A and B are shown apart, each in its own frame.
Chain A
Amino acid sequence: MNPDASTIAAGAPIEVDLSPVAEGQDIKVFWRGKPIYISHRTKKQIDEARAVNVASLPDPQTDEARVKAGHEQWLVVIGICTHLGCIPIAHEGNYDGFFCPCHGSQYDSSGRIRQGPAPANLPVPPYQFVSDTKIQIG
């Protein structure tokens, strides 16, 4: 009952052009049927994400570990709440990040869980920059 061949084939990597995404905006693309949030973070959001004491987080991870060096303004995360799988809303909640409407989990501008029942940070999908304005997810 595991995914069949065509489902796996349709899950191949995709390329996304980032040039139309202005600072402070984000887009949602679908990969493997999952929504992926790509946010162009503002300076303020980056600073906030880096200012927290990592050890105090429920799922400790530095912001540096969640973005690609040299492309700090881009946050790419799978937009599926790690609690029970709802889609969090971007730019909501108390941490300038994401807010899950289902059971009230809140994520910060690095996609890390800060409050609520979700146990883990929003996962970062495998991706790399193929050029300065284009990434490949998968």
Chain B
Amino acid sequence: MSGPSDYQPSNPALQWIERRLPILGLMHSSFVVYPTPRNLNYWWTFGAILSFMLGMQILTGVILAMHYTPHADLAFKSVELIVRDVNFGWLLRNMHACGASMFFFAVYVHMLRGLYYGSYKEPREVLWILGVIIYLLMMATGFMGYVLPWGQMSFWGATVITNLFSAIPYVGESIVTLLWGGYSVGNPTLNRFFSLHYLLPFLIAGVVVLHVWALHVAGQNNPDGVEPKTEKDTVPFTPHATIKDMFGVSCFLLLYAWFIFYMPNYLGDADNYIPANPGVTPPHIVPEWYYLPFYAILRSIPNKLAGVIGMFSAIIILCFLPWLDAAKTRSSKYRPLAKQFFWIFVAVCILLGYLGAQPPEGIYVIAGRVLTVCYFAYFLIVLPLLSRIETPRPVPNSISEAILSKGGKAVASVMVAIVAAGALFLGSMQDARASEGSDQPPGNKWSFSGPFGKFDRGALQRGLKVYKEVCASCHGLSFIAFRNLGDPGGPGYSVAQVAAFASDYKVKDGPNDAGDMFERPGRAADYFPSPFPNEQAARAANGGAAPPDLSLITKARSYKRGFPWFIFDFFTQYQEQGPDYVAAVLQGFEEKVPEGVTIPEGSYYNKYFPGHAIKMPKPLSDGQVTYDDGSPTTVAQYAKDVTTFLMWTAEPHMEARKRLGFQVFVFLIIFAGLMYFTKKKVWADSH
């Protein structure tokens, strides 16, 4: 992409093509001989990481779309069936869902890198603006993708975000109707979001081509912000940059795999495992983490229109950055003041993100307002002012000169990172629950926790018995088929046992030749029948509160971990909030209602249920279910067993996930090591 190439392939067939379409020459000049500055650091590998992630998302997305059904009644179920029944469907889904988060994480690093090193300055303004366009398209794509599983957060996220447009005077309402294709978010909305979610990534890919083109015209910026002057300042793209990028990507993959295999739900919201319900708003609506800073800005402005304008301008302002910051020196390395303000700005963004996830009350609102002002002040006051008053340090004459005078700065920053990670890790080791005595569910030792966790077969079988004899009279288990009981990683029944178990059930089938419905014994392929014909019946029979389906209950329930626990959880892989909560509720019934708490007629006091008034009467009592294997028949044991069983129903492939995760980690670590040493060799005489 940098001028006509003199590349000549040696193979005659390729020469024939090259004379008619010089595509190989284009590739050669753009990605092989293309000169890259010698002094690029690892922050520059995020460009390659992002291209990789885009490819990954498109690839997994296309396969997922083959199995997904974009219909309001079927979407939630089809996603669950992908995870349960499609070969490696759980892997595809985790890769795609975590991939979105990783994509945004990488794009934020990439943008902050550009901000720090002044990569938006003359002559790279168009390059930067194209990047902002990509970012906007990514946000739209990510938002629509989050709607597709059609859980509670999907639905209400879609409602809140589409309603942003209703703030536009005069035409707002019609725009919203146009977006919905109806009078509220519904099936037409889901359909069009699916269509657009499939389309936009290809638009992104198109803009990425322009972005790379613009990059190759202007040349890459570099940490010292001086343009390459002589041959000595650059190295050819291949092998130098290629191998460095490969090493960067493989390190990034380690992080990505950590989420895919060990923490797939860490970045998600438990509420999204509850099917969308247009009649109930979840108590606390939060968007995905990567929108949180903007959501915080929206909420801190107490006027609807102004809030929406504030939120959008927080992004659009980035387009004007090249003109807001007029300083001649590019890199903040040589701008002592700009450097400090940059880090303050990063802190402001992170804090805004934290506030976006908090309820909009009291101190959070005030802090949100202050930080919103700081955010805009950085662009509108600090940057323009700094370019006038700051005296930058002298910039080296050339890149080679900069390399020669390089000190031990990199070592220092690596040290800081290691110390910070170590501190976090130490903190997480002492998993003492600070909030003893409150309504936090107590932690349990689960056989399935941790990177090598496995289900305890005995507990699964006992839990199934408890479910069948106690829970099943009110709660369905609609995503589980009898055949699943014989699946590897499950309760471990044989085919014959499964058939016998299934035949105990009466299943409605039909219509037969005479057009009648009839009942027959269950088969392995049938699903657990629901105790009530529909939700209304379930509601009517249970005093107005429908007993929830239990297939996903351990993933659909959670409790707030709060700061700093959620950071430790990342390292300890603690993700058993759901099971801890379920087990706690089962044991949390108390006869005596504590003083100051009033329980309405027809409800029961439960220590751990939010609000304490639960409609379900105490379900378990000692000795209620007999065990053949001599395990104690106590409520505590029942609760533990049935929770283990329900964890399996929520995540039947968990054992396969963790097993494959270990193999992938071994591979990635070796691969990254090889890449590192190859890179060292290639760069040996360039440093």
Contact = CB atoms under 8 A, between A and B. Distances in A.
Contact of B360 (A32, A87, A104): A104
A1 B302 CA distance: 32
Contact of B279 (A28, A102, A103): A28
Given A85-B160, A119-B304, A3 B283 contact: no
B543 interface: no
Contact of A87 (B181, B186, B281, B305): B281
Contacts of A87: 279-281
B181 A2 contact: yes
Given A83-B304, A102-B285, A3 B361 contact: no
Given A2-B178, A86-B160, A33 B186 contact: yes
* Residues of A contacting B: mostly: loop
Nearest to B162: A85
Contact of A86 (B162, B184, B285): B285
Interface string A48-88: 00000000000000000000000000000000101111110
A30 B307 contact: no
A4 B188 contact: yes
B160 A33 contact: no
Contact of A85 (B163, B299, B360): B163
A24 interface: no
Interface string A30-46: 10111100000000000
B303 A119 contact: yes
B668 interface: no
A80 B156 CA distance: 12
Interface residues of B, number: 35
Interface centre among A4, A7, A80 (most CB of B within 10 A): A7
Interface string B258-291: 0000000000000000000011111111000000
B177 interface: yes
B382 interface: no
B183 interface: yes
Nearest to B186: A33
A78 B162 CA distance: 18
Interface centre among B159, B179, B185 (most CB of A within 10 A): B159
Given A86-B285, A87-B279, A117-B304, A103 B360 contact: yes
Interface centre among B162, B188, B280, B303 (most CB of A within 10 A): B188
B26 interface: no
B163 A84 contact: yes
Contact of B160 (A1, A34, A84): A84
Given A2-B178, A3-B183, A84-B160, A117 B278 contact: no
Contacts of B557: none
B278 A33 contact: yes
A7 B184 CA distance: 11
B164 interface: yes
Interface in B172-195: 177-186, 188, 192
B181 A3 contact: yes
Nearest to A103: B360
Interface in B121-162: 156, 159-160, 162
Interface string B353-371: 0000000110000000000
B281 A117 contact: no
Nearest to A119: B304
A30 B186 CA distance: 13
A1 B156 CA distance: 21
Contact of A34 (B166, B184, B280, B304): B184
Interface centre among A2, A30, A80 (most CB of B within 10 A): A2
A118 B188 contact: no
B305 A119 contact: yes
B281 A101 contact: yes
Contacts of A32: 182-184
A13 interface: no
B189 to A, nearest CB: 10
B154 to A, nearest CB: 14
Nearest to A86: B281
A126 interface: no
Contact of B181 (A4, A86, A101, A119): A4
Contacts of B179: 1
Interface in B198-225: none
Contacts of B188: 3-4, 7
B184 A33 contact: yes
Contact of A102 (B160, B278, B303): B160
The 7 closest A-B pairs by CB, nearest first: A33-B184, A32-B183, A85-B163, A84-B160, A86-B281, A84-B163, A85-B159
Interface of B: 156, 159-160, 162-164, 166, 177-186, 188, 192, 278-285, 299, 302-305, 307, 360-361
16 contacts: A1-B192, A4-B181, A7-B181, A11-B183, A33-B185, A35-B279, A82-B304, A83-B304, A85-B162, A86-B156, A86-B285, A87-B281, A102-B285, A103-B299, A104-B360, A117-B307
Given A33-B183, A118-B304, 4 more contacts: A2-B177, A30-B278, A85-B162, A87-B280
